[in-house]
Amino acid sequence: MKYPKMFEPGSIGKLRLKNRIVMPAMGTAYATASGEASDNMIAYYEERAKNDCGLIITEITRVNSVNGRGLFNQLSVIDAQCIPQLERLAAAVHRHDSKIFVQLHHPGRETTAMLQGGTQPVAPSAIPCKKTKEMPRELTTQECDDLVTAFVTGAVLAKTAGIDGVELHAAHGYLLNGFLSPHTNKRTDKYGGTFHNRVRILGDIITYIKFMCGADFPVSVRISGDDYVEGGNRLEDTVKIALMIESFGADAINVSSGTYESSPTIIEPNSYPQGWKKHLAKEIRKHVHIPVIAVNNIKEPSVAEALMEEEVCDFVALGRAQLADSAWAKKAKEGDDLFIRKCISCLYCFEELETGRKTKCAINPRTGQEKVFANYQKDGNNQPVVVIGGGPAGMQAAITLAKRDFKVTLFEQGATLGGTLNVANKPPFKENLTWLIDTMTEEMKRLAVDVRLNTKATAEMIKELSPVGIFVAGGAKPIIPAIPGIDSNHVLTAESYLSEPVALGKKVTVVGSGMTGMETAEVLAEKGHEVTVVEMQPTIGTSIHYMVLEGMIERLSKNNVTMLPAHKLIAVDDKAALLFNTLASKTAMVESDNVILAIGVTPNNHLTDEFKELSDRVITIGDNNRSGRIADAIHDGFNKAFVF
C-alpha cells in the first residue's frame, strides 16, 4: 500500500475506526429550515463514507434556538424532532463501515442578529467581533449554566439517534473559544477571570456528557492551536488548555487555528502552503495522551502521509479536499494520486456559504447534489458527440458525456488542454491549477475521449463524425476598449503577457483590478517593475474574495505598487496612460512604458453560429456561453452534459 500510515485502523476512546482519515466539520446549509438532516445532506455524507473516509464530523450543529444559529438551514440537536433524520444519517454512514460524530456548536459573537431573527448575539463578554461588527450581549451566569445543559442535551439526542460521538467546537472564535480566550472573556464570575474559570464551561460540558451518555461515548474537542489575534491564545496557552481538556475526560483533540478576526488561518486561500500549521498539532500532541486530529490545508495524499510519519497527528482531517473529490480517501488507498481532483483553494465553497447559499465546490459539480446527480444515465449508446474547446468547460462536458457512454471527440486548436487555466496558473500561488488540468486530462484518457490537439474544428471534420450533438466551449476573448492609442505596440492584454511573457519597460500600468489584473500586477512587481493598478470602480478588487484580496494588497503594498481606484483609462500615448478620475471629474496621467489590459472578456459567440447548420443540438458552455470563473465553466459543462 502506498500510504500505510493513513490506512491503519485507529481508535478514539473505545471507538474503533477503519483508518486515520477524518472529514472535519464544514458548514453546508444542507439541512432543512427546521434543522433536520435533509435527504441531500444524508447523501452528501454517505458519498464520503462509501469512499473510505473513516470518520465524518457533521457541520456545525445548533444546540440553542434563541441565539445559537450560525447558518441558514443549519443542522440542529435542540429537541427530539431531530432524531429520525439523524438516525437515517447514522445508518447511511454505518452502511459503509464508517463512523460519524455530530459537532455541537454555538456561534457566540460570531453571528448576526439577522441570523437570529432579530435577537442580539451573545458572548462571554460584550466585545464585538471585528468581522461581524455587531455588539453582543454578555451572558448572565444562569445563561451560561443553561448553555451547558444545551450542549449536553445535544449530545444525548445525538447518542439516542445512533451517532457514534460528538465534537465540541471550541475553536475559531465561536462561543466556547470565546470563553477560553482572555481576548474575549473579561468576566468576573465563575466562568471568567482565572485560567481555570475560563476553561470551566468546557469542563462542565464534557463531565456532564460523560455522565449522561456514558464514559465510553466519545467526545472530541476542536480547538485553535493559535488564535492569531493580539491578546488571544497562543500555542503555549493552547497546550495548557489541551491538558485541561484531557483531564476533563475528552477522548480526542482536533487542532485547527484562528478566529473570524484571523479568518485566512481557518479557511486558507491559495497563498497558504499545505501543512503550514503542523507545528501547532505536533506541539500539542507532545503533551497529551489522547489522539490528536489535525487539519493542515491538505490536498495531496503524500502530504497527509508525511504528517502521520512525522508524528504531527494521529488522524488527518481533510475538509475541502473531500468537497473537491468525494473519493479522495478511496483513490489515496489505491495509490491513484493523479486521479484525485485536488482542492485549488479558490474559496468558492466558503463564498457560497457566507452569501446565504448552500456550499458548492468549484471543481466538483456534484458536491451537495449527490442525491440529484446520483447516477449517470448510461444512454449514450456509443453515439458520437463533438466538443469544441479543451478548456475546463469543454473537458468537463467531455468527461460527463463519456461517463454516459457517448463516443466523444474533443477538438482543441491549441497544443495543450486546459484553455485559460494555462494562463490562470502562471501568477503566484496558482500552480495548483495545473493539478486540475492534469487530473481532467487523465479522466478523459481513461474514458477513451478522442482528444485532437492542434486541430481547429471545421465543418468537414464534424460532418464526418455525424454527431448527435455539438458542445461549443470556444472560450472568450479579452475586451479591448475603443480609445486612442489602444493599438500601440506597447499595449498588451494580461492573457497574452501571462501566456507568453515579453520584455517590458520599467513602468507598467495594469488596467483592471479583478483577479486577472491583480495577479498580473503581482507577477510584474515580483519582477521589479514599477506597477500602477488602475480601476474604474471606487474600490480595488471588488470581485475578489476578501480573504484573497487582503493578502494580495499586503504583498502589492510591500512591492510599492500604486493603486488608483475610481480612474478610467481614456487614452494611451507613447509614454503615458491618460486617465479620468471619476470622483474628482478631472484627468490624470501615469507614466507608462507599457499598458496591460485586464478589463474582462467577451464570449466567442461566432463559433456557435458556425456550427448551427450542422446540428439542431448545438450547445454553448463555459465562457462561450457566459464569461465567468472556473466554477461557472465546470458546472455549466457538467450540467448541460448530464441532461443532454
CB 241 within 8 A of CB 225: no
Q: Would you say domain 384-478+602-643 falls under CATH 3.10.20.30?
A: no
Residue 601 DSSP code: E
- Residue 37, C-alpha cell as written in the block: 438532516
- Give residue 626's pLDDT: 65
Query: Does the pLDDT at position 64 exceed 90?
Result: yes
Q: Residue 31 pLDDT > 90, yes or no?
A: yes
Least confidently predicted of 179-193, 211-225, 536-550, 617-631: 617-631
- Poorest-pLDDT segment among 44-53, 470-479, 505-514: 470-479
DSSP code at position 82: G
Look over the chain and give the mean of its residue pLDDT values, rounded to a whole number. Answer: 96
Q: At what angle do helices 200-213 and 235-248 cross, to 10 degrees?
A: 30
For 169, 178, 403, the CA distances from 128, given in Å and listed in that order, are 20, 11, 51
Cβ-count burial 354-377 (b if 16+ within 10 Å, e if not): eeeebbbbbbbbbbbbbbebeeee
Assigned fold of 5-355: TIM Barrel (3.20.20)
Average pLDDT over residues 42-65: 98
Contacts of 478 (CB under 8 A, 6+ apart): 493, 494, 495, 496, 597, 599, 600, 601
pLDDT tens, 608-620?
777 887 888 999 9
Are residues 428 and 386 in contact, defined by beta-carbon separation less than 8 angstroms?
no
pLDDT at 584: 92
Q: Which residue has the cell 480547538?
A: 223
Question: Of 353, 349, 327, which Cα lies nearest the Cα of 340?
Answer: 327
Q: Would you place residue 604 in the very low, low, confident or very high pLDDT band (cuts 50, 70, 90)? A: confident
Cβ atoms 185, 231 nearer than 8 A: no
Common-topology check for domains 384-478+602-643 and 491-599: no
What residues contact 366, with CB distance under 8 A and at least 6 apart? 47, 326, 373, 638
For residue 413, the model assigns a pLDDT of 95
State whether the Cα torsion 345-508-479-418 is positive or negative: negative
Q: Which amino acid is at 39?
A: D
Give percent of the chain with pLDDT exceeding 90. Answer: 95
**What confidence tens digit (pLDDT) does each residue in 478-532 have?**
999 999 999 999 999 999 999 999 999 999 999 999 999 999 999 999 999 999 9
Task: Scan for cell 494562463, then name that residue.
Answer: 423
Give me the pLDDT at residue 610, please. 76
193-215 average pLDDT score: 98
Tell me which residue of 22, 107, 66, 609 sits closest to 308, measured CA to CA: 22
Where on the phi/psi map is residue 623: left (φ > 0), alpha (ψ -120 to 50), or beta? alpha
Cβ-contact 130, 261 below 8 angstroms: yes
Statement: residue 189 has pLDDT above 90: yes
Going by pLDDT thresholds of 50, 70 and 90, the confidence category of residue 317 is very high
Q: How far is CA 584 from CA 6, 152, 192, 565, 589, in A?
A: 60, 60, 52, 12, 14
Q: Is residue 627 very low, low, confident or very high in pLDDT (cuts 50, 70, 90)?
A: low
- Return the SS3 of 478: strand
Q: d(Cα 614, Cα 461) in Å, to the nearest integer?
A: 11
Cα 180 from Cα 305, distance rounded (Å) = 32
Domain ranges of the chain: 5-355, 384-478+602-643, 491-599
* Active-site pick, 45, 174, 228, 497: 174
Q: To which residue does cell 492573457 refer?
A: 495
Length of the chain: 644
Give catalytic status of residue 174 as yes or no.
yes
137 DSSP β-pair partners? 122
User: Which DSSP symbol is given to 488?
Assistant: S
What is the layout of strands, in order, in the sheet containing 567-572? 567-572, 576-581, 586-591
**Backbone phi, psi, residue 16, to 5°:** -90, 130
The dihedral built from the CA positions of residue 630, 633, 635 and 637, taken in this order, carries a sign that is: negative
CATH 3.30.70.1290 describes domain 491-599: no
CB 359 within 8 A of CB 333: no
Q: Which of 179, 42, 34, 44 is nearest to 106 (CA)?
A: 179
Q: Quick check: 373 pLDDT over 70?
A: yes
What is the reported pLDDT for 612? 80
pLDDT, residue 623, reads 80
Instruction: Determine the Cα–Cα distance for residues 269 and 344; give it in Å rounded to an integer.
Output: 9
Q: What DSSP state is assigned to residue 68? A: -
- What confidence score (pLDDT) does residue 236 get? 98
Predicted confidence (pLDDT) per residue in 107-163, tens digit: 999 999 999 999 999 999 999 999 999 999 999 999 999 999 999 999 999 999 999
What local confidence, expressed as pLDDT, does residue 474 receive?
Answer: 85
